[in-house]
């Protein structure tokens, strides 16, 4: 019999165990997330089998845990004689997906895990950085990771007592880290450690003087790295490599144009929602770093590419993000992920271009370099890139060699 959604619904209606009252709504949620018919049918089959197993063992819904999934998977099982693939290879993953659904809807107990004492402090620090400081998700993730390493280094799994920390403890942690990582990475560790200590001082758990005990990292360089800009011809090749006859091609072309024409960060592309597009005024509302928002003009080719994607490539979904995943569950890309960077990397492979840098930020650098070459000032470039500090934009001054020649001092004894 050909798999169908009706067949999956009929299958779960036959269930009579502890999961049966919620299986129809679960299957409906899979349909809304646009899983394929075969995938829905398979998930329904495994779900009904799990429900029957729970019923035989008189396990109630409130008692359900991950341990029951492992026990279910280890049961005696006789595969069909015509089954050539590894039997039940996706069974655990699909039952765990059901369990996540039940927990999200508070139908069973949340996952129980032995959380070390450090986790509570790091979670509070995470919320402080996100909600009070408004830092970018990637920055918060880096700071929290460094803070957790610091706490585990000193306290392990014991109770965390920040009040007993001293300058010697902080310096010993940095010294232990230094031999194993590059100076640039160590600087990031130092930044995260300082941020955490400032937070601890804000909470009154340590003295603010401990923040100044964090040592600085010396990493001199006679040749500071230049911005990593993609070549304009390569950028055009990537945009033209998108197949406009497919939804993926329409989406990727719109994203690449946003990167190339407006210099958006990958996270700013991911967070765009449908309400951010003002078609009448031709503007886009950009959600930048630190919670900053600004309006940017939408070039004609960018608007046409987004409109083509929305009309012919974007799948129907209640999710309001402009750009959606192409595989189920159909929803916006995860904020903080490198989904846009992956799109750029795939475009480079598709166009047959081998560049030293694969991420999306190279388009942002290319826009700044192009503006500089056409006579734009450093403040104008900073406004376009939405830099809060002129220092962030000043790196592009090193590219304008012709302008820098005018600042060169003649060598003594030579004619200028």
Catalytic: 396? yes
Helix axes 20-32, 37-56, angle to 10 degrees: 160
Catalytic: 57? no
Omega into 157 within 30° of 0, i.e. cis?
no
Query: Of 234, 251, 364, 365, which residue is the catalytic one?
Result: 364
Catalytic: 364? yes
Distances (CA, A) of 194 to 30, 176, 209, 297: 45, 16, 11, 38
C-alpha 310/C-alpha 315 separation (Å) is 8
Query: Of 289, 331, 350, 358, which residue is the catalytic one?
Result: 289
C-alpha 174/C-alpha 186 separation (Å) is 8
Catalytic: 374? no
Catalytic: 314? no
Query: Of 22, 251, 321, 387, which residue is the catalytic one?
Result: 387
Report the SS3 class of residue 154. helix
Catalytic: 184? no
Query: Of 261, 321, 361, 386, which residue is the catalytic one?
Result: 361
Q: Bridge-partner residues for 296, per DSSP?
A: 284
Distances (CA, A) of 399 to 1, 378, 410: 66, 11, 21
The residue count for the chain: 416
Distances (CA, A) of 48 to 135, 335, 382, 397, 416: 44, 34, 58, 65, 86
Query: Of 265, 321, 325, 386, which residue is the catalytic one?
Result: 265
DSSP letters spanning 271-332: T-BGGGEETTTTEEEEE-GGG-EEEEE--HHHHHHHHHHHHHTPPP-S--BSSB-SSSS--B
Query: How many C-beta atoms surround the C-beta of residue 302 within 10 A?
Result: 21
Under DSSP, the state recorded for 16 is -
Catalytic residue set: 265, 289, 361, 364, 387, 396
């Amino acid at each position: 019999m050909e798999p169908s959604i009706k067949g999956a619904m009929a299958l779960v209606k036959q269930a009579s165990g502890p999961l049966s009252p919620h299986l129809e709504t679960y299957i409906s949620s899979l349909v809304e997330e646009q899983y394929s018919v075969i995938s829905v049918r398979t998930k329904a089959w495994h779900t009904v089998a799990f429900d029957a197993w729970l019923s035989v063992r008189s396990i109630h819904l409130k008692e359900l845990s991950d341990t029951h999934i492992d026990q279910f998977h280890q049961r005696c099982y006789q595969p069909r004689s015509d089954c050539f693939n590894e039997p039940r290879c996706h069974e655990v993953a699909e039952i765990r997906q059901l369990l996540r659904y039940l927990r999200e809807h508070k139908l069973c107990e949340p996952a129980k895990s032995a959380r070390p004492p450090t986790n509570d402090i790091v979670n509070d620090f995470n919320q402080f950085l996100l909600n009070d400081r408004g830092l970018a998700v990637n920055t918060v993730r880096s700071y929290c990771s460094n803070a957790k390493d610091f706490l585990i280094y000193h306290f392990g799994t014991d109770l965390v007592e920040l009040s007993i920390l001293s300058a010697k403890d902080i310096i010993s942690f940095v010294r232990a880290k230094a031999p194993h990582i590059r100076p640039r990475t160590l600087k990031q560790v130092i930044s995260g450690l300082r941020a955490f200590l400032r937070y601890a001082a804000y909470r009154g758990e340590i003295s603010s003087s401990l923040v100044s005990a964090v040592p600085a990292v010396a990493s001199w360089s006679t040749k500071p790295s230049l911005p990593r800009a993609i070549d304009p011809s390569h950028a055009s090749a990537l945009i033209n490599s998108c197949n406009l006859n497919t939804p993926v091609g329409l989406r990727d072309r719109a994203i690449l144009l946003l990167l190339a024409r407006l210099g958006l960060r990958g996270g700013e592309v991911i967070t765009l929602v449908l309400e951010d597009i003002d078609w009448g005024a031709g503007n886009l509302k950009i959600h930048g770093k630190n919670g900053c928002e600004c309006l940017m003009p939408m070039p004609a080719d960018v608007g046409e590419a987004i409109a083509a994607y929305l009309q012919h490539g974007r799948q129907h979904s209640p999710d309001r993000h402009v750009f959606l995943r192409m595989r189920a569950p159909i929803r916006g890309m995860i904020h903080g992920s490198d989904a846009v960077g992956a799109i750029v990397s795939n475009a480079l492979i598709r166009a047959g271009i081998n560049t030293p840098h694969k991420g999306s930020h190279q388009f942002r650098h290319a826009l700044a370099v192009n503006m500089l070459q056409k006579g734009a000032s450093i403040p104008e470039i900073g406004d376009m890139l939405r830099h809060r500090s002129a220092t962030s934009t000043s790196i592009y001054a090193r590219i304008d060699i012709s302008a820098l020649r005018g600042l060169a001092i003649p060598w003594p004894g030579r004619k200028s």
